């Protein structure tokens, strides 16, 4: 596990400083994805694998000054970039593994996770941990600002149903982890899966 974490940290550490400038036009897509969580003022929400914190201002807007916003990431360099971008003003940042969160069970109303799930060593365990920290009836958004086919094409690959994020694979994974799949969207300009924490 430590080696897997080192691999993730190495991969993202060298990309942290330039991360936001690679994707300068994604802001509206993140705002729209956050909207789908249906957050209310005063809610508590986690951005799991928050990276440079691109979603944090949108999450703060949604929960208001009385809400709680947490951003957790395994790679300190990504969080350093979040601080430099002023995003610590939108939420509390912590270096943490999304699969072992220092958060009380049921403490959160929702989790937003952009670009995270493909990087988890054991996705089922990660999704179960996200379910642990969310109250029954709370929500999960798995988001990416580009669909699976478009992303695969960008990397010169093709997609298959064996892919972790393919609906036949992800649906059962979510169910075993304590989530009820609510909607599955995989379009060129957005991958968005919404799930509800089972009671
Ligand atoms: C593709 S980036 C996305 C960052 C950010 N959510 C965004 O949309 O810009 C994936 C992020 O997940 C983080 N990450 C990967 N595995 C993680 C884990 N097990 N726990 C927490 N963060 C993790 C990486 O460090 C990286 O910052």
> What would the pLDDT profile of 129-155 be if each residue is shown by its tens digit?
999 999 999 999 999 999 999 998 988
30 with 51: CB under 8 angstroms?
no
Q: Which of 53, 95, 115 to mutate to test the pocket of ligand 1 (most atoms within 8 A of CB)?
A: 115
Q: Is the CB of 194 under 6 A from ligand 1?
A: no
Query: Residue 171 pLDDT more than 80?
Result: yes
pLDDT band at 8 (very low <50, low <70, confident <90, very high): very high
pTM metric for this prediction: 0.96
Measured distance CA(106)–CA(132) in Å, rounded: 6
What's the CA-to-centroid distance between 172 and ligand 1, angstroms?
A: 23
What's the CA-to-centroid distance between 111 and ligand 1, angstroms?
A: 13
User: What contacts 33, CB < 8 A, 6 or more positions away?
Assistant: 55, 112, 114, 141, 143, 145, 190, 192
pLDDT band at 3 (very low <50, low <70, confident <90, very high): confident
How many other C-beta atoms lie within 10 A of the C-beta of residue 70? Answer: 24
Mean pLDDT of 193-198: 97
Mean pLDDT of 86-105: 98
Q: Is the CB of 30 under 6 A from ligand 1?
A: no
What's the CA-to-centroid distance between 153 and ligand 1, angstroms?
A: 21
Measured distance CA(17)–CA(194) in Å, rounded: 30
The proportion of the chain whose per-residue pLDDT surpasses 70, expressed as a percent, equals: 99
pLDDT band at 4 (very low <50, low <70, confident <90, very high): confident
State the average pLDDT for the chain: 95
Q: Where are the beta strands (DSSP E) in 26-77?
A: 44-48, 68-73
Q: Which atom of ligand 1 is nearest to the CA of 50?
A: 6
Could you tell me the residue ranges of all domains in the chain?
Answer: 2-17+27-197
184 with 173: CB under 8 angstroms?
no
pLDDT band at 160 (very low <50, low <70, confident <90, very high): confident
Lowest-pLDDT choice from 28-37, 49-58, 134-143, 157-166: 157-166
State the CATH class of domain 2-17+27-197.
alpha beta
Q: Is the CB of 114 under 6 A from ligand 1?
A: yes
């Amino acid at each position: 596990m430590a080696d897997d974490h080192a691999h993730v940290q190495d991969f993202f550490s060298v990309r942290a400083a330039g991360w936001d400038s690679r994707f300068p036009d994604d802001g509206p897509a993140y705002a729209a994805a956050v909207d789908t969580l249906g957050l209310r003022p005063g809610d508590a929400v986690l951005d799991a694998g928050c990276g440079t914190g691109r979603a944090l201002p949108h999450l703060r807007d949604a929960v208001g000054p009385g809400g709680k916003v947490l951003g957790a990431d395994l790679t300190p360099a990504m969080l350093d970039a979040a601080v430099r971008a002023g995003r610590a003003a939108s939420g509390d940042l912590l270096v943490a593994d999304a699969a072992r969160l220092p958060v009380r069970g049921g403490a959160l109303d929702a989790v937003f996770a952009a670009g995270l799930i493909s990087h988890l060593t054991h996705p089922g365990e990660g999704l179960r941990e996200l379910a642990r920290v969310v109250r029954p009836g709370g929500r999960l958004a798995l988001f990416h600002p580009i669909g699976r086919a478009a992303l695969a094409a960008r990397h010169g690959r093709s997609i298959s149903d064996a892919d972790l994020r393919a609906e036949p694979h992800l649906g059962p994974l979510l169910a075993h982890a304590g989530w009820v799949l609510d909607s599955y969207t995989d379009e060129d300009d957005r991958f968005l899966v919404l799930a509800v924490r089972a009671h």
